[in-house]
């Protein structure tokens, strides 16, 4: 699944979560039957949902939340998938966490290949802002679909 969060700590943003239809999803329906759970939207072989709880998550907490419900932060592999996800981010004014992170190099948390990138101009920049406790090693998606590397402790919603 994908979890996206806002940069502003005072705002609460939705998150995007996905799960593979062939993998065992949270309770019914049966895995691989081509149907998504209620409030989940199918795209390709995955189901997506926007988490819009009362509080945002840091990137690690967003990933932990996804894993706790047997999902993963979303990975994005094409312009068409990106546009689908943009349309799901119904708040339109919040950024969301996605499953792209950097350790040695950029990689998706679901271990899928890194073939499609959609960085905003000037990104990734690995900025270190005063007061930050870490570099920008996690990625948020802006409402326009462009990506920004950000500090993983910033609270945001997820997709």
Give the pLDDT confidence score for residue 17 in this predicted structure. Answer: 59
Domains of the chain: 15-150 (3.10.100.10)
The residue among 149, 142, 147, 105 whose CA lies nearest residue 128 is 149
User: CA separation (Å) from 99 to 10, 29, 70, 138?
Assistant: 23, 25, 14, 8
Q: Residue 51's Cα: distance from chain center in Å?
A: 10
The 3-state DSSP class for residue 141 equals strand
pLDDT attached to residue 99: 92
- pLDDT for the residue numbered 27: 45
Instruction: Give this prediction's pTM.
Output: 0.75
Question: Which pLDDT score, from 0 to 100, does residue 133 have?
Answer: 56
Six-digit token string for 126: 């690995």
Helix residue spans in the chain (DSSP H): 59-68, 79-88
The reported pLDDT for the residue numbered 76 is 93
Task: Report the alpha-carbon distance of residue 13 to residue 156 in Å, rounded.
Answer: 5
Residues of the chain with pLDDT under 70: 1-34, 54, 89-93, 127-134, 154-159
């Amino acid at each position: 699944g994908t979890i996206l969060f806002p940069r502003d700590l005072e705002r609460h943003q939705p998150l995007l979560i996905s799960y593979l239809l062939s993998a065992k999803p949270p309770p019914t329906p049966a895995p691989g039957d081509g149907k998504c759970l209620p409030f989940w939207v199918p795209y390709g072989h995955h189901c997506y949902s926007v988490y819009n709880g009362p509080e945002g998550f840091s990137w690690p907490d967003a990933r932990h939340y996804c894993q706790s419900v047997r999902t993963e932060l979303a990975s994005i592999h094409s312009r068409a998938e990106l546009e689908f996800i943009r349309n799901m981010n119904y708040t339109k004014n919040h950024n969301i966490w996605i499953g792209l992170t950097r350790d040695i190099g950029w990689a998706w948390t679901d271990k899928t290949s890194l073939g499609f990138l959609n960085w905003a101009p000037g990104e990734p920049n690995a900025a270190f802002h005063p007061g930050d406790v870490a570099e920008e090693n996690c990625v948020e998606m802006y409402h326009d679909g462009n990506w920004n590397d950000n500090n993983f402790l910033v609270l945001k919603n997820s997709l």
